[in-house]
Amino acid sequence: MKKFCFFLILLFISCGKNDEIPYEYVNIAINLDFPDYMPLNAIGNSLMVKGGVKGIIIYHKSKNEFVAYERTCPFDPKHKWGKVSIDKKINSVATDTVCGSKFSLILDGAVLQTPASLPLKMYLTSYNPNTNILYITN
């Protein structure tokens, strides 16, 4: 009986949230000289753009390094209204508007506050400093 109860508990835990985020083709080129994207020229700044499933957060991590994250929360990706947004108080933190999970934009989308247990989904980035164009793909 104890083994059966333990199995049920494990099954219940594994059937919780943290579903897979749907695939959405991403192939974006952003010219950082354009006024809408100029805030990204400063290290430590972040910006939300269209693309991906629910949008993309771009964070300027270091001199020539940018990271891009899906705005769909890994805790409940099927929720229609929730989106991960840049925290208004701390530019390097993103917060889900529904479950309240917090993620580090500096530490590859790592979970800072639950209920999410998986990091934010990352997209590939490539930056050309000669043209000041940032490419985001998957």
**Residue 22's domain is classified under what CATH number?**
2.102.10.10
Residue 101 lies in a domain: yes
Residue 69 lies in a domain: yes
Quote the pLDDT of residue 19.
61
Residue 65 lies in a domain: yes
* 89 contact partners, CB below 8 Å, separation of at least 6: none
Residue 88 lies in a domain: yes
- How many domains are contained in the chain? 1
Predicted confidence pLDDT, tens digits, the chain (138 residues): 554 444 333 334 344 444 688 899 999 999 999 999 999 999 999 999 999 999 999 999 999 999 999 999 999 888 777 799 999 888 899 999 899 999 999 999 999 999 999 999 999 999 999 999 999 999
Q: The whole model's pTM is what?
A: 0.84
Residue 119 lies in a domain: yes
What gap in Å lies between CA 84 and CA 71, rounded to an integer?
5
